[in-house]
Amino acid sequence: MPQIADIRRKLLIFTFLLFLNPPIAFSFNIPEKFEYDLTWTGVKAGTATLEITRTGNDIKIVSTAQSAKWVSVFYTVDDRVESILAKKSSLMFVGEPVNYRLKIREGRHRRDKEVIFNSGNKVTYIDHINNEQHSFDVPSLIFDPLSSFYYLRTLKLVVGEPVYVTIFDSKKVWNVEVQVLRKEKVTLPTGTVDTILIKPLMKSEGIFYKKGDIYIWLTDDEKRIPVKLQTKVAIGSINALLVRGRY
């Protein structure tokens, strides 16, 4: 079912938020892990995770998504995205990106790409399936799609004030507007929480190109926990709801 693959793409959009507002106090613990149920038109269709760990000065962030058994019979989703950061400056919230790796299996579709962040404001893009490699110039303040979300969680989000974010993705540098829409209550298995709703206006090609609108609910506190995600697809909608974790 192609609609199930969209949730992997949409979860990455959690990470496309970065760099305009001054940071507030550091607001989350390491290690930390979120676990989500993925539903399509109200039926559970898979699971997803988002986890951050530390080893010395190195930080690893991993996002995964797997289709449920009944979906995998005819459309298997098995995705893993990993970002490695290193602490290089006391001004950085956690660290600067060093390596970004995306490995996707969605039905017959396969993708295995890597971005290496080099010194001198350059990155190396590698497509491991097509044996392709290129070098690109980038700004000094730039993150990969996955790690940028963790910087977002240290920022002050104000309703009605958009945030513009800078990332490297799909062989280009993108400046993305993220709208801060309103505050809402969201009901989780553990209870009801106050949230702030955001909507990234994606312009990146590749896995984020010409997809439906995406809405993300973050807890309206200093932790900015991503508790819910929703997007429209060809038939119905896909939701990701936080069901458990360590945070």
> pLDDT, tens digit, for every residue of 78-90?
999 999 999 766 5
27: phi then psi, degrees, rounded to nearest 5 = -125, 5
Count CB atoms within 10 A of the CB of residue 221. 12
Which residue is associated with the tokens 């507030």?
Answer: 24
Tokens of 214: 């995406």
> Is the Cβ–Cβ distance between 32 and 54 less than 8 Å?
no
pLDDT at site 235: 66
Rounded CA separation 160/166 (Å): 20
Does residue 102 have a pLDDT over 80? yes
Q: For residue 206, what is the DSSP state?
A: G
Does residue 215 have a pLDDT over 60? yes
Could you read off the pLDDT of 116-131 as tens digits, one per residue?
999 889 999 999 999 9
Element housing 149 (H / E): helix 148-152
Nearest to 65 by CA among 174, 207, 194: 207
pLDDT at site 119: 85
pTM of the shown model: 0.83
pLDDT bracket for residue 25 (50, 70, 90): very low
Which residue is associated with the tokens 């709208």?
Answer: 179
pLDDT, average across residues 187-214: 74
Mean pLDDT taken over the chain: 83
pLDDT at site 4: 52
Does residue 19 have a pLDDT over 50? no
Higher pLDDT, 204 or 67: 67
Rounded CA separation 156/242 (Å): 22
pLDDT at site 241: 96
pLDDT at site 18: 36
Does residue 16 have a pLDDT over 50? no
- CB contact burial 59-73 (16+ within 10 A = b; e otherwise): bbbbbbbbbbeebee
Q: What structural domains and CATH numbers belong to the chain?
A: 2-246 (2.40.360)
pLDDT, average across residues 191-196: 97
